[in-house]
Every structure is written in C-alpha cells, then in structure tokens.
Amino acid sequence: MARPRKPLLSTERIVATAAALVDAEGVEAVSTRRLAAELGVSGPSLYNHFRTKDEILEAVADAVSARIDLSMFAEDDPRDWRTALHDWAVSYRAALADHPQVVPLLARGPGRRPAGLRVADAVFGAMVRAGWPPAQATSIGALMRYFVTGSALGSFARGFVDDEAAYDPADYPHLGQAHLLAERQRKVDEGAFETGLAALLDGLAVRYAAQVSQGSGDASGRGTETGAGGMGAGAAGTEAGGTGA
C-alpha cells in the first residue's frame, strides 16, 4: 500500500501524538521511528508533513503556548493592567505546569512559534491601551515572560522527576518522606513564584505612577514619551513581534 486514497497522516494528528508522547515520556522519547510507529506508519512518512523532527517539536511547544489564557487582555475586559498581568502570569505558569516535559523545548529560544507571537501582541496592545509608552509595553511583555518561563524551568523541568527516581522504594521504605520532600519543594517554588510576581507588579506600579505624574499617561495612551524607563522610541507594531513565548 504505497499511497492510500485517504491520507493516513495529518499535521494535527502528528502534533497531537507527539505531544502525548512528550507528556508521557519526555522529549527524549520522541524519535521519528518511535513517533511513526505510534501513528501506525513508517518513519520517513513524517517528512511528507514536516521538514525536520525539530519542526514537530516546535509545533508541540506552540500548542502549549496556545493554551495560555489571554482573555484578560481583550479590549472589553474590565481588569486593570496590573490584575491582567497577574492573571496572565498565573495562567501562563499553569499551562507550563500542566506540561512540564515541554518546558525544556522553550530553551531552544523563542523561535518562530505563532502562538508565542500572539501572546506578545496581546500583552503589548493591552499595556499601551492602559497608558504605558510603547517601548515600556514591549519591555513588560518580555520581562514577565522571563520570570514565568524561568520559574517553570527552575520548578518543574526534570527537577523532581529525577528525585522520585533517585528514591527507589525497594531499598528505601520511607517513601512517604520522598513524597514529603517533593511536596515541600513544590511549596518553596510556589512561594517564590508568588512573592516574585507580587514584587514585580509592585515595582511596575511604582514606575507607572511616576509615568502618569510626569507624562500624560491617560487611558487613551500611545502618546508622549516619558523619560522614566528610558529605552528610546520605537514603532509599536514591530516592537511587539520582537520575541515570542
């Protein structure tokens, strides 16, 4: 059966199966042959739908980014910029926490993931509407992303997975304690995330206040450059697309 009249594969099915494999066994478990077998197909078939294996993994990462809630940045959403950023960060972290095995894929850099660009665009637009100067709005999107992805990396990227493996219940009967340690670490990470997020938003609020008192930072926004953040001017549209999630 060389070519079936109905295609056996689709990009969606490939990505979904790859994502499930990553979630279940980690990025390293994904080989073209293994993935193809899971799809009931031979290895080279994948190359009719993707140019490289890396492209498949990029699509898996993008699918996770696509699950980040962005409703707080909608024009008609009542949340103020600070609450919106907070809720977004929490949703962002939750999306990564749901797929810890995907986090290492983020380490390959922003890449060209479309969902990442959509995120950057949404944040940028909402911040500008709230009265932030464009250059500052760009910075805010980036620095929030830094913090959230960094926390995901530090918290659940292969960290406690290794730990659980290290505590072999065979010769270590107090497996309750291993659970306790993992739970404890989780609490530490969560506390650090919450403290850091609150501090970050407090710090931004200080800068925002300095801005409005000095410039003309009303809600119609987009206008006068204030000196407060000092990144120089920049065109709005291109600024937002600079880096993806």
Partner DNA sequence: ACCTGAACACCGTTCAAGT
Binding site for DNA (CB under 7 A): 1-4, 7-9, 30-34, 36, 41-45, 47-49, 51-54
Contact yes or no for 87/72 (Cβ under 8 A): yes
Q: Which is nearer to a copy of itself, 146 or 172 (CB)?
A: 146
Contact yes or no for 234/128 (Cβ under 8 A): no
Chain residues 112-171 in contact with a copy of itself, contact rule CB under 8 A: 135-136, 138-140, 142-151, 153-154, 157-159, 161-162
182: which residues sit within 8 A by CB, 6+ positions away? 160, 163, 164
Dihedral sign, Cα of residue 114, residue 119, residue 124, residue 130: positive
Q: Which is nearer to a copy of itself, 45 or 185 (CB)?
A: 185
H/E segment holding residue 95: helix 81-98
Closest distance between DNA and the C-beta of residue 33, in Å? 4
Backbone angles phi, psi at 24, to 5 degrees: -80, -40
Q: Which is nearer to DNA, 93 or 113 (CB)?
A: 113
Q: Which of 60, 113, 131, 189 binds a copy of itself (CB under 8 A)?
A: 189
Distance CA 33, CA 120 (A): 35
Distance CA 210, CA 85 (A): 19
Tokens of 71: 């409703």
Q: 231 contacts which partner out of DNA, a copy of itself, none, CB within 5 to 8 A by kind?
A: a copy of itself
Backbone angles phi, psi at 200, to 5 degrees: -60, -45
Q: 221 contacts which partner out of DNA, a copy of itself, none, CB within 5 to 8 A by kind?
A: none
Distance CA 180, CA 162 (A): 15
Q: Which is nearer to DNA, 50 or 208 (CB)?
A: 50
Q: Which is nearer to a copy of itself, 153 or 236 (CB)?
A: 153
The residue ranges that bind a copy of itself (CB under 8 A) are 103-104, 106-111, 135-136, 138-140, 142-151, 153-154, 157-159, 161-162, 185, 187-189, 191-193, 195-196, 198-204, 206-207, 229-232, 234, 239, 242-243
